[in-house]
Amino acid sequence: MATILDTFQEFAKIYNDARSSGNNEVAMRVGKNILSIAEAQLSQPDLSATHKEYYRQWYVQVHEYMSTATKKLAKAKTQSSGDNNIADNTDWFSADVPNLTMDDVAGLVDVKEEFMVNIFAPFDKKYSPIYYRYRKDLGLQILLYGPPGTGKTHIVKCLAGELGCKIAVVQIKDVMARLVGDGAKIIAAVFEQAQKYDKCIIFFDEIDALAASRDDDESRHTKEQLTTLLTYMDGFMSKTKPGQIKIIVAATNRPWALDSAVKRGGRFETQIYIPLPDFDARKKLIDIAFGKDRGQKNRLEIPCNPDVTSEWLATKLEGYAGADIKAICKQIINKPLKRAIFAEFKGIKCAEDCVTRQDCLTVIGEYINSITDEMLLEFDAYKANMEFKEYIKAILRIDVSRLKEYARRWLTAKGLLK
């Protein structure tokens, strides 16, 4: 549990970083927090002399900076008000509340349970005053991580629909498409706009690109983006009141690449792993693709041979992500479609106008699975809170750096290598 001093020191670090990178807006924002914590701490009667001096010095320094910077910033804002600032002009919450519910998430029973406990309960009218009374922040920050195509984005949209929330989806392409350095402006704009809504979700897709580890990426803009994100996240959390629903969700395929500050000090405390679809999830995805799902009222069922059942196909598609299953099903359905078109073209009767097992096996055989075993092992290592190499060493009980030597020994023992 982070102490007040820890939080203060983190703010102080962000403040120093912002000042050295010349980001006055962030420095001012963090400066406000520094002043209010320092003020509160200085009024504590039992504060030690060392701490009193420490907070006093910070108070004086930041106060001085804030007064001069306020004037400068006001002047700069007036001068740049004519600039064409794309980030500020985008309405990030323009999309309607998604017409989806958690029932639109196929399978993933464990994930839905996690959502029940961590997300739905705190916002239930019954419990939210209790959370508030005990100073538990009502705003939620959730990190969804897992292999690509497992439905992280889809789940967030279903969550927004279920809770009746407006949603802002910030994708890395939105940031990349803009000018270098606009990342911080985009983040600020999204959070500012979120203040207008009582029920909203800010969703950062591929957060690893926005909040990459500072050890890996030393660029000034990356640091600035991260600092802005952290500052706004903290402010967003503390302002949420009972009756409001404010959630920040981030998704990543590479949780280990995130800067540790994003996962520390109450931020993204709830991390939920989104795994590959289980049997039921795969079956439902197949049913949806083939128009067999009961929810798909206006869709005709794709004609299949009697031995091509969703159950059979679901067993064949173990190890594939939801996105891949959708793509595979589409390709399978294309097979009899092509035959039917071809027959029509030639004016002959189509011999096989249904999906056959051979159609399925051909497509699956040719499809390159986007999920690799190594990828899944990387997630297992992250869940076990271990470095990848250490994890492999632990599960194989061998030293990975000596793999070649082991292989040579094994082949020699088998007489395959002289």
Q: Of 104-112, 293-301, 305-313, 402-410, which part binds ligand ADP (CB under 6 A)?
A: 104-112
Contacts of ligand ADP in 299-318 (CB under 6 A): none
DSSP string computed for 281-348: HHHHHHHHHTT-STT-TT-PPPPB-TT--HHHHHHHTTT--HHHHHHHHHHHHHHHHHHHHHHHHHT-
- Report if residue 286 touches ligand ADP, rule: CB under 6 A: no
Q: Work out which of 34, 38, 102, 106 binds ligand ADP, going by CB under 6 A.
A: 106
Residue (322 or 336) nearer to ligand ADP, CB: 322
3-state secondary structure of 389: helix
Could you give the CA distance from residue 190 to residue 408 in angstroms, rounded to a whole number? Answer: 56
Taking the complex as a whole, the smallest distance from the CB of residue 114 to ligand ADP amounts, in Å, to: 14
Complex with ligand ADP: residue 90 or 370, whichever CB lies closer: 370
DSSP 304-315: B-TT--HHHHHH
What's the min distance (Å) between Cβ of 281 and ligand ADP? Answer: 5
Task: Tell me which of 31, 149, 183, 336 binds ligand ADP, using CB under 6 A.
Answer: 149
Query: Of residues 148, 235, 275, 319, which one binds ligand ADP by CB under 6 A?
Result: 148
105 binds ligand ADP (CB under 6 A): yes
271 forms part of the interface with ligand ADP (CB under 6 A): no
Which of 33, 150 has the CB closer to ligand ADP?
150
Nearest to 150, CA basis, from 371, 314, 344, 339: 371
Which of these segments, 151-159, 184-192, 295-303, 384-392, binds ligand ADP (CB under 6 A)?
A: 151-159
Q: Does 261 bind ligand ADP (CB under 6 A)?
A: no
**Scanning the structure block, which residue is given the tokens 């598609």?**
317
Interface with ligand ADP includes 336 (CB under 6 A)? no
Stretch that binds ligand ADP, among 102-110, 236-244, 312-320, 359-367 (CB under 6 A): 102-110
Q: Does 150 bind ligand ADP (CB under 6 A)?
A: yes
SS3 label, residue 214: coil
Choose, by CB under 6 A, the member of 19, 63, 254, 326 that binds ligand ADP: 326
**Residue closer to ligand ADP (CB basis): 354 or 364:** 364
The DSSP symbol for 212 reads B
Which of 122, 277 has the CB closer to ligand ADP? 277
C-beta neighbour count of 101 within 10 angstroms = 12
Residue number with the shortest CB distance to ligand ADP? 322
Tell me which residues in 240-259 interact with ligand ADP (CB under 6 A).
251
Which residue in 179, 285, 264, 248 sits closest to 213, CA to CA? 264
Q: Which residue has the tokens 């005709």?
A: 300
Residues 178-207 that bind ligand ADP (CB under 6 A): none
Pick the binder of ligand ADP from 38, 108, 138, 258 (CB under 6 A).
108
Smallest separation (angstroms) from ligand ADP to the CB of 232: 23
Q: Measured between alpha carbons, how far is 284 from 10 in angstroms, rounded to an integer? A: 46
CA–CA gap between residue 109 and residue 38 (Å, rounded): 46
Whole-angstrom distance, CA of residue 233 vs CA of residue 226: 10
DSSP for 3-51, written as a single string: -HHHHHHHHHHHHHHHHHTT-HHHHHHHHHHHHHHHHHHHT-TT--HHH
Can you tell me whether residue 374 is helix, strand or coil? helix
Residues that bind ligand ADP (CB under 6 A): 105-108, 148-154, 251, 277, 281, 322-323, 326
